[in-house]
Amino acid sequence: MTSKPNVRQPSHVACRDCSLSSLCLPLALSIKDIDQLDHIIKRGRPLKKGEHLFLEGDPFTSVFAVRSGAIKTYTATNEGEEQITGFYLPSEILGLSGMDTDTYPVSAQAMETTMICEIPFEQLETLSDQFPELRRHLMRLMSKRIREDQQMMMLLSKKNADERIATFLINLASRFRRRGFSSQSFRLSMSRNEMGNYLGLAVETVSRVFTRFQKNGLISAVGKEIEIRNSVELCALAGGKTLEPNPIATSA
Amino acid sequence: MTSKPNVRQPSHVACRDCSLSSLCLPLALSIKDIDQLDHIIKRGRPLKKGEHLFLEGDPFTSVFAVRSGAIKTYTATNEGEEQITGFYLPSEILGLSGMDTDTYPVSAQAMETTMICEIPFEQLETLSDQFPELRRHLMRLMSKRIREDQQMMMLLSKKNADERIATFLINLASRFRRRGFSSQSFRLSMSRNEMGNYLGLAVETVSRVFTRFQKNGLISAVGKEIEIRNSVELCALAGGKTLEPNPIATSA
DNA sequence: ATACGACTTTGAGGCCTCTCAATGACGTCA
DNA sequence: TGACGTCATTGAGAGGCCTCAAAGTCGTAT
How far apart, in whole angstroms, are the C-alpha atoms of residue B219 and residue B227?
6
Out of A66-75, A200-209, B120-129, which region has the weakest mean confidence (pLDDT)? B120-129
How far apart, in whole angstroms, are the C-alpha atoms of residue B232 and residue A74?
28
Are the beta carbons of A139 and B138 separated by less than 8 Å? Answer: yes
Query: In the complex, which nucleotide's C1' lies nearest to the CA atom of residue A190?
Result: D7
Q: Which one-letter DSSP state was computed for residue A27?
A: G
Are the beta carbons of A96 and B132 separated by less than 8 Å? Answer: no
Contact B45, B39 (CB under 8 A): no
Average pLDDT over residues B5-29: 75
- Which of A72, A106, A141 is the last residue in one of the domains? A141
Are the beta carbons of B140 and A99 separated by less than 8 Å? Answer: yes
- Which of A115, A141, A167 is the last residue in one of the domains? A141
Give yes or no: residues B177 and B134 share one domain: no
Concatenate the DSSP letters of all residues of B42-73 into one string: EE-PPBPTT-EEE-TTSBP-EEEEEEES-EEE
The pLDDT-based confidence of A240 (bands split at 50, 70, 90) is: low
SS3 of residue B155 by DSSP: helix
The pLDDT-based confidence of B159 (bands split at 50, 70, 90) is: very high
Quick check: B50 CB within 7 A of strand C? no
φ, ψ for residue B159 (rounded to 5)? -95, 150
Average pLDDT over residues A1-14: 51
Give yes or no: residues A112 and A193 share one domain: no
Average pLDDT over residues A153-165: 95
Please write the tens of the pLDDT for every residue from B189-234.
Answer: 999 999 999 999 999 999 999 999 999 999 999 999 999 999 999 9
How far apart, in whole angstroms, are the C-alpha atoms of residue A234 and residue B227?
47
> Is residue A5 predicted with pLDDT exceeding 80?
no
Average pLDDT over residues B131-135: 86
Residue A32 pLDDT: 85
Q: Does B242 touch chain A (CB under 8 A)?
A: no
| Helix, strand, coil percentages, rounded to 5, for chain B | 40, 20, 40
Does B243 map to a domain?
no
Q: Which residues in chain A touch residue B125, judged by CB atoms under 8 angstroms apart?
A: 136
Give yes or no: residues A45 and A129 share one domain: yes
Give yes or no: residues A25 and A110 share one domain: yes
| Helix, strand, coil percentages, rounded to 5, for chain A | 40, 20, 40
Are the beta carbons of A158 and B200 separated by less than 8 Å? Answer: yes
Residue B31 pLDDT: 87
Give yes or no: residues A123 and A204 share one domain: no
Residue B50 pLDDT: 92
The CATH number that applies at residue A198 is: 1.10.10.10
- Which of A91, A109, A141 is the last residue in one of the domains? A141
Please write the tens of the pLDDT for every residue from A118-140.
Answer: 999 999 988 888 888 888 888 88
- Judged by phi (left if over 0) then psi (alpha if -120 to 50, else beta), residue A155 lies in alpha
How far apart, in whole angstroms, are the C-alpha atoms of residue B26 and residue B20?
9
Quick check: A206 CB within 7 A of strand D? yes
Give yes or no: residues B103 and B174 share one domain: no
How far apart, in whole angstroms, are the C-alpha atoms of residue B116 and residue B41?
10
Query: Distance of CA A46 to CAs A5, A50, A107, B78, B226, Å?
Result: 18, 12, 17, 41, 54
Give yes or no: residues B48 and B129 share one domain: yes
Does B8 map to a domain?
no
Q: Closest residue by Cα to the C1' atom of nucleotide C9?
A: B207
Interface test with B, best of A153, A154, A164, A198 (most B CBs within 10 A): A153
Please write the tens of the pLDDT for every residue from A92-102.
Answer: 999 988 888 88
Does A2 map to a domain?
no
Of B85, B125, B146, the CB nearest to A142: B146
Quick check: B6 CB within 7 A of strand C? no
Range of the domain at A51: 15-141
SS3 of residue A237 by DSSP: helix
Cβ contacts from A onto B, under 8 A: 115
Please write the tens of the pLDDT for every residue from B87-111.
Answer: 999 999 999 888 888 899 999 999 9
Of A129, A138, A153, the CB nearest to B149: A153
Contact B34, B28 (CB under 8 A): no
Concatenate the DSSP letters of all residues of A85-150 into one string: EEEE-TT-EE-GGGTTSSB-SSEEEESSSBEEEEEEHHHHHHHHHH-HHHHHHHHHHHHHHHHHHH
Are the beta carbons of A200 and B158 separated by less than 8 Å? Answer: yes
Average pLDDT over residues B12-33: 87
How far apart, in whole angstroms, are the C-alpha atoms of residue A35 and residue A40?
9
Task: Estimate in Å the CA A188 to C1' D1 gap, whole number.
Answer: 29
Does A123 map to a domain?
yes
Residue A245 pLDDT: 41
Are the beta carbons of A199 and B157 separated by less than 8 Å? Answer: yes
Does B150 map to a domain?
no
Does B251 map to a domain?
no
Residue A11 pLDDT: 54
> Is residue B11 predicted with pLDDT exceeding 70?
no
Give yes or no: residues B82 and B192 share one domain: no
Give yes or no: residues A127 and A68 share one domain: yes
Residue A4 pLDDT: 43
Interface test with B, best of A72, A148, A149, A170 (most B CBs within 10 A): A149
In chain B, residues 183 through 242 whose Cβ sits under 7 angstroms from any atom of nucleic acid strand C: 191-193, 203-204, 206-208, 210-211, 221, 223-224
For residue B142, give how far its alpha carbon lies from the nearest alpha carbon of chain A (Å). Answer: 7
CA nearest A238 in B: which residue? Answer: B78
> Is residue A106 predicted with pLDDT exceeding 60?
yes
Quick check: A216 CB within 7 A of strand D? no
SS3 of residue A1 by DSSP: coil
Out of A38-47, A48-57, A146-155, which region has the weakest mean confidence (pLDDT)? A38-47
Give yes or no: residues B51 and B106 share one domain: yes
Give yes or no: residues B29 and B78 share one domain: yes
Q: Give the number of domains in chain A.
A: 2
The CATH number that applies at residue A127 is: 2.60.120.10
Residue A23 pLDDT: 85
More confident residue, A8 or A110: A110
Q: How far from the centroid of its chain's Cα atoms is residue A159's Cα? A: 22
Q: Which residues in chain A touch residue B150, judged by CB atoms under 8 angstroms apart?
A: 75, 85, 97, 105-106, 149
Contact A74, B148 (CB under 8 A): no
How far apart, in whole angstroms, are the C-alpha atoms of residue B53 and residue B61?
12
Does B201 map to a domain?
yes
More confident residue, A23 or B8: A23
Does A91 map to a domain?
yes
Are the beta carbons of A141 and B77 separated by less than 8 Å? Answer: no
Angle at B37 between CA B35 and CA B42, to 5 degrees: 110
Give yes or no: residues B25 and B109 share one domain: yes
How far apart, in whole angstroms, are the C-alpha atoms of residue B87 and residue B172?
10
Residue B81 pLDDT: 86
